[in-house]
């Protein structure tokens, strides 16, 4: 039996690896798919920026149009080339999924990593996509922390403890969290948070007022000493309006 040439060895290795190919963002078992000749390249009806690749008259896989433009009918694709194209497609689809996710609101890098890993993507695909997102400015934890704190301050004020817990759950590095919280005026935040609800407490007796406001602010992560000061300040406002 003659020894295999380098090309034949490469093909044999590719075939051995073929049972698990990365396709459309998830691992699947490839059932009998083999190398072949491109017989047709056609834009997909529902996804006009994607092209269906047909090998030997049979649909094989899809590609972004920019990658499909590098192919032509009559071109032979080996198993190794198909695996490479599918991996490129998986990365592109993963990238586009993350962009749709980020369209709703900014995310920390850890959130995006968990999202990608939850889609059963290969570790290499996850790292490649994260690197591209960093490079293009879509992932920036320092900017994310600023967004999160500013958004909370504007619409739903929280105390330092609550903000710290939220950002830790999102996987943000502690130094970035502390840097962002250093610029927050906690007493002013607590006052604004409670001031919005003042009307519903204005008819209460002092002890009931103190408990209601105190519980409300404590649930939002403000410190006890700070809460006491805010309660007294708001009670004076209520008292003046009576």
For the beta sheet containing 58-64, the strands, ordered from the edge strand earlier in sequence to the opposite edge, are 58-64, 50-55, 36-43, 76-77
226 to 50, 105, 167, 182, 192: CA distances (angstroms): 57, 31, 22, 16, 13
- Whole-number pLDDT of residue 120: 82
Query: Residues 28-38: pLDDT tens digits?
Result: 334 445 799 99
What is the arithmetic mean of pLDDT over 48-64? 92
Q: In this structure, what is the dihedral angle of CA atoms 49, 55, 57, 63, given to the nearest 10 degrees?
A: -10
What is the arithmetic mean of pLDDT over 57-80? 93
What is the arithmetic mean of pLDDT over 109-123? 93
Asked whether the CA dihedral 36, 42, 44, 47 is positive or negative, the reply is: positive
Helix axes 206-219, 224-241, angle to 10 degrees: 140
- Whole-number pLDDT of residue 242: 63
Percent of the chain with pLDDT over 70: 86
Question: Could you give the CA distance from residue 94 to residue 88 in angstroms, rounded to a whole number?
Answer: 10
State pTM to two decimals. Answer: 0.74
Contact criterion met (CB below 8 Å) for 149 and 163: yes
Question: Could you give the CA distance from residue 234 to residue 42 in angstroms, rounded to a whole number?
Answer: 68
- Whole-number pLDDT of residue 33: 52
Report residue 225 as tokens.
């000493």
* pLDDT confidence bin for 27, thresholds 50/70/90: very low
Query: Residues 219-236: pLDDT tens digits?
Result: 999 999 899 999 999 999
- The pLDDT of residue 110 is above 70: yes
């Amino acid at each position: 039996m003659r020894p295999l040439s380098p090309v034949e060895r490469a093909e044999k290795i590719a075939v051995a690896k073929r049972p698990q190919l990365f396709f459309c963002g998830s691992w699947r078992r490839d059932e009998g798919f083999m190398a072949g000749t491109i017989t047709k390249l056609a834009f997909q009806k529902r996804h006009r920026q994607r092209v269906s690749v047909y090998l030997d008259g049979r649909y094989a896989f899809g590609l972004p149009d920019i990658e499909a433009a590098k192919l032509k009918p009559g071109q032979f694709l080996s198993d190794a080339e198909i695996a490479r194209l599918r991996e490129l497609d998986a990365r592109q689809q993963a990238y586009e999924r993350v962009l749709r996710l980020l369209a709703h609101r900014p995310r920390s890098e850890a959130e995006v990593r968990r999202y990608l890993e939850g889609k059963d993507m290969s570790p290499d695909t996850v790292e490649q996509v994260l690197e591209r997102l960093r490079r293009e400015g879509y992932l920036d934890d320092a900017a994310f922390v600023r967004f999160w704190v500013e958004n909370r301050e504007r619409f739903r004020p929280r105390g330092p403890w609550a903000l710290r817990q939220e950002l830790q759950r999102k996987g943000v590095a502690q130094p970035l969290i502390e840097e962002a919280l250093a610029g927050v005026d906690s007493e002013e935040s607590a006052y604004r948070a409670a001031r919005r609800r003042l009307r519903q407490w204005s008819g209460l007796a002092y002890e009931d007022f103190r408990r209601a406001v105190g519980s409300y602010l404590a649930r939002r992560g403000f410190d006890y000493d700070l809460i006491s000061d805010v309660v007294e300040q708001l009670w004076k406002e209520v008292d003046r309006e009576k």
